[in-house]
Every structure is written in structure tokens, then in C-alpha cells.
């Protein structure tokens, strides 16, 4: 891709996430431009906004892309639909040789978390963005695990009920399962657990995330270095803020000493340190309201992932 030419991007899904992603591509991306938006509802607000902005659209799902000349040269497809629909969309992208960035919890491809493992993703043709809770918390688990082994990590993601659309509500089980697996495989925890809470408060609350990491005492090691963990967490938060400005610590990292506490997920007693990190994520307001930080972090992470993979692939060709 020439330095002065952006690669085309297709967004599948004309709901809140897809529409916000379109705005971010247009306003923020130096490597991508909107090629087309795909929906299934001709009257959707997302398709209407895309048309007004001069973006090619189809309301015939991915089958409608074949008739759009803009699709031919597109490099990336973002799937902002549902886990159930993603398998078909992934097969479509593969047939046409397009990079697929999956914003659903389908998890057919490897998990991608920009600040943790993005440079390993250039070989994949379908990468999964885990979940909003995963994007918010896995960097913190990885930061703690970088200082000392994490035996168990539990995350609790609390989001405004209004920011949970039909796709999110239909995929709650996939959310918890996908996030739990990624806490382990990407975050580095021995065992991971994820909980999501849809908060019906009015006015809506900003996304809050709590991360608990259990670091076990180990032979030959002094007790956990609290200062090193706090620095690692703060450094990681700053790195996430580079692409999600509304991501922040709510208070200083907390440390509690536990001795002989039974942890059901481990199936045994635990002695060591519980590290607690409290986060807040507010949206940038490109399309979604500020309280919808759960959606904003997904679109921001997806955009960063696509841009970096294209950069890595271009570097490999040079």
C-alpha cells in the first residue's frame, strides 16, 4: 500500500458498533478509509448515515458486497454483527482474501489485545477482539502477570443497560466464555473468570471494570513487589489510553494479604496477595454517548488492530 493511499475497509453491521467504527475510520485512521457498510435493514440509521457520507452501502448482507465495485480493492472487513453470524462472514472474507477483524465473541481466530499481543497477529486472516470487558481488563492482567505469575484472575465488567444492544444481550454466554479463555491465553492467568453486569441505572452509568488477580507466594521469592505491580499497571493504562483516551484508573492499585483462603476456581486453598484494580472507560462521543465506553473500547481496539496488522504485513513485504 502506497504511503499516500489508504486501504479500503468494509464494516458489516449497521448498528451502534458498526456506525461508531465508521466514524472512527473516517476521523482517526491514517491507514484506512471506508469502502462500504453492510446491513440487513434498509431503514437502519447506520446505513442512512453511511449513504449521506458518500459511503457505498448494501442492505443485502455480505451477499450484496459482490455488486459493489468498492469492495474489490478493500483490504479489511470488520464484523460488528453477532457470534452466530460470524462463521458465515468469516468464510466470505476468506474466499475473497480479506483480513477479517471480528468484533463478535465468536472467537474463530486468535484473540487480539493491542497492548499485549498485537505484533503476533500479522499471520492471521481472522482475528478476534475478545469482548469489551476483555479489552478493558486483559491488559491489566497481563501487566500483573509480567511481574509475578497470576494463579487466578477474575474480572467484573459493569455496563449501562442502554449500551447493551440486541447483539450484546444475545451473546452474554459467549461474552463470559470468550473473556474467561482470553484472560488465560492472552492475559497469562492460570485460571480466568469473567462476569458482566448490565446496570439499568438512569441516567446511564459509565463502564466500570474491576480486576482481581491472585498472586501466590512462591518459594525463593520475597513477597510480591507492590511498587513494581503498581508501576506495571500504570504503564499499561497509559498505553491503552493511547487509543482509548477515556480509559483510566479510578484509584490506586490495591493489595490484600490472603492466607489459606479456599478459592473454588482453583479447587484448593490460596496463600498470597490479591491485587485489585478499578477502571473506568468513557466513550469518545464520535457516534455513541459517553457512557458507552464498552462499545467505544471495542471499536477503538479493532481499528488499532487492523492498522497494525496492515503495517506489519507491509513491512514484511519490503
pLDDT tens sequence across 166-181: 778 888 888 999 999 9
Please tell me the predicted confidence (pLDDT) of residue 91. Answer: 97
pLDDT tens sequence across 284-312: 999 999 999 999 999 999 999 999 999 99
145 with 249, same domain: the answer is yes
In the structure, what pLDDT confidence band is assigned to residue 213 with cuts at 50, 70 and 90? very high
The answer to whether 137 and 189 have CB atoms below 8 angstroms apart is no
pLDDT tens sequence across 132-177: 999 999 999 999 999 999 999 999 999 999 998 777 888 888 899 9
Cβ burial, residue 60 (10 Å; 0-12/13-18/19+): middle
* Average pLDDT score over the chain: 94
The overall pTM is greater than 0.75 = yes
CB burial readout 25-40, b (16+ within 10 A) else e = beebbebbebbbbbbb
Q: Which of 236, 113, 119, 124 has the alpha carbon at shortest distance from 185?
A: 113
215 with 227, same domain: the answer is yes
106 with 195, same domain: the answer is no
178 with 136, same domain: the answer is yes
139 with 121, same domain: the answer is no
Q: What is the number of structural domains in the chain?
A: 2
Residue 272's domain comprises 132-290
- Is 1 inside a domain boundary? no
- Is 267 inside a domain boundary? yes
Residue 318 pLDDT exceeds 60: no
Give me the sign of the Cα torsion angle 87, 91, 92, 97.
positive
- Is 36 inside a domain boundary? yes
Q: Which of 286, 307, 309 has the alpha carbon at shortest distance from 297?
A: 286
DSSP assignment letter at 8? E
Please tell me the predicted confidence (pLDDT) of residue 169. Answer: 85
Q: Where are the beta strands (DSSP E) in 234-307?
A: 247-249, 254-263, 268-281
92 with 230, same domain: the answer is no
Out of 132, 145, 160, 244, the active site residue is 132
Give the count of alpha carbons within 13 A of 108, CB side only: 21
16 with 40, same domain: the answer is yes
Q: Which of 298, 295, 274 has the alpha carbon at shortest distance from 129?
A: 298
- Determine the average pLDDT of the residues in 177-187: 97
44 with 80, same domain: the answer is yes
- Is 2 inside a domain boundary? no
- Is 188 inside a domain boundary? yes
136 with 285, same domain: the answer is yes
CATH number of the structural domain spanning residue 250: 3.30.360.10
Residue 68 pLDDT exceeds 90: yes
The answer to whether 290 and 281 have CB atoms below 8 angstroms apart is no
Residue 87 pLDDT exceeds 80: yes
Residue 2 pLDDT exceeds 70: no
285 with 140, same domain: the answer is yes
190 with 110, same domain: the answer is no
Active site annotation includes 213: no
Which residue has cell 513477597? 223
CATH number of the structural domain spanning residue 23: 3.40.50.720
Q: Is 258 left (phi over 0), alpha (psi -120 to 50) or beta?
A: beta
Distance of CA 163 to the CA centre of its chain: 15
107 with 246, same domain: the answer is no
Residues annotated within the binding site for NAD(+) are: 14-17, 163-171, 294
Amino acid at each position: 500500500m502506497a504511503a499516500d493511499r489508504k486501504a479500503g475497509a468494509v464494516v458489516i453491521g449497521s448498528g451502534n458498533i458498526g456506525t461508531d467504527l465508521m466514524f472512527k475510520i473516517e476521523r482517526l485512521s491514517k491507514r484506512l478509509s471506508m469502502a462500504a457498510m453492510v446491513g440487513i435493514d434498509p431503514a437502519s440509521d447506520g446505513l442512512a448515515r453511511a449513504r449521506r457520507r458518500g459511503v457505498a452501502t448494501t442492505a443485502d448482507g455480505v451477499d450484496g458486497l459482490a455488486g459493489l465495485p468498492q469492495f474489490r480493492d478493500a483490504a479489511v472487513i470488520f464484523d460488528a454483527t453477532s457470534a452466530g453470524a460470524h462463521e458465515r462472514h468469516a468464510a466470505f472474507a476468506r474466499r475473497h482474501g480479506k483480513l477479517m477483524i471480528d468484533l463478535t465473541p465468536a472467537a474463530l481466530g486468535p484473540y487480539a489485545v493491542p497492548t499485549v499481543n498485537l505484533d503476533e497477529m500479522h499471520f492471521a486472516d481472522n482475528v478476534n477482539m475478545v469482548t469489551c470487558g476483555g479489552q478493558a481488563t486483559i491488559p491489566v492482567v497481563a501487566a500483573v502477570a509480567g511481574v509475578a505469575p497470576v494463579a487466578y484472575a477474575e474480572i467484573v465488567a459493569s455496563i449501562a443497560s442502554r449500551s447493551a444492544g440486541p447483539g450484546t444481550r444475545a451473546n452474554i454466554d459467549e461474552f463470559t466464555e470468550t473473556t474467561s479463555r482470553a484472560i488465560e491465553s492472552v492475559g497469562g492467568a492460570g485460571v480466568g473468570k469473567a462476569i458482566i453486569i448490565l446496570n439499568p441505572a438512569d441516567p446511564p452509568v459509565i463502564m466500570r471494570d474491576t480486576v482481581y488477580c491472585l498472586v501466590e507466594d512462591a518459594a525463593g521469592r520475597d513477597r510480591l513487589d507492590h511498587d513494581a505491580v503498581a508501576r506495571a499497571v500504570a504503564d499499561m493504562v497509559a498505553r491503552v489510553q493511547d487509543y482509548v483516551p477515556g480509559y483510566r484508573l479510578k484509584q490506586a492499585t490495591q493489595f490484600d494479604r490472603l492466607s489459606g483462603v479456599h478459592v473454588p476456581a482453583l479447587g484448593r486453598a490460596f496463600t498470597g496477595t490479591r491485587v485489585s484494580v478499578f477502571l473506568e472507560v468513557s466513550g469518545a462521543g464520535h457516534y455513541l454517548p459517553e457512557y458507552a465506553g464498552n462499545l467505544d473500547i471495542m471499536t477503538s481496539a479493532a481499528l488499532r488492530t487492523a492498522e497494525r496488522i496492515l503495517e506489519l504485513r507491509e513491512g514484511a513485504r519490503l
